[in-house]
Amino acid sequence: MTAATTPENRSSNGKEFRISSRTRDRLVAAGIDLSNGYPYYPTKPASLNAAKAFAQPFEYADAAARASSLSPLAEVAELVDLTPHIGTEIRGLQLASLTDAQKDALALLVAQRGVVFLRDQEITPQEQLALGEYWGKVHHHPSAGVLPGLPGVQTISDELLRQHGELVDFRNPCSEQEWHTSLAHEPQPPGYTHLHYDSTPPTGGDTTFSSGYVAYDKLSPPLQAFVDTLEGLYRSAHVYTNPADPDGLKVPIVTAHPLVRTHPVTGWKSLFVNRRYMVGIKGLTAADSDALLEHLWRTYETAFEGQVRFRWTPGTSAIWDARSTIDSTASDTVDDTTGQHRHATRVTTLAEVPLPASAGQSRRVALGLDPGVVQEQGRVKYY
The per-residue pLDDT for 46 is: 85
Residue 1 lies in a domain: no
- Burial (CB < 10 A; 0-12, 13-18, 19+), residue 142, is middle
Residue 345 lies in a domain: yes
Q: Region 156-165: what's the mean pLDDT?
A: 67
The per-residue pLDDT for 310 is: 97
CATH of the domain at 250: 3.60.130.10
Domain count, the chain: 1
Residue 145 lies in a domain: yes
pLDDT at 337 over 60: no
DSSP 3-state of 358? helix
pTM of the model as a whole: 0.92
pLDDT digits (tens, 9 = 90+) for 305-330: 999 999 999 999 999 999 999 999 88
4-13, 28-37, 111-120, 175-184 — most confident range: 111-120
Sign of the alpha-carbon torsion through 26, 42, 234, 287: positive
The per-residue pLDDT for 38 is: 79
- Percentage of the residues of the chain whose pLDDT score is greater than 70: 85
Residue 382 lies in a domain: no
Residue 360 lies in a domain: yes
Residue 88 lies in a domain: yes
Residue 350 lies in a domain: yes
Beta bridge pairs of residue 160: none
* Cα–Cα distance for residue pair 120/135, rounded to 1 Å: 22
| Nearest one of 197, 150, 199, 159 to 33, comparing CA atoms | 150
Of residues 248 and 128, more confidently modeled: 128
Q: Tell me if 320 sits within 8 A of 135, measured CB to CB.
A: no
Q: What angle do CA 340, 344, 348 make, to 5 degrees?
A: 170
204: containing domain:
7-376
Residue 282 lies in a domain: yes
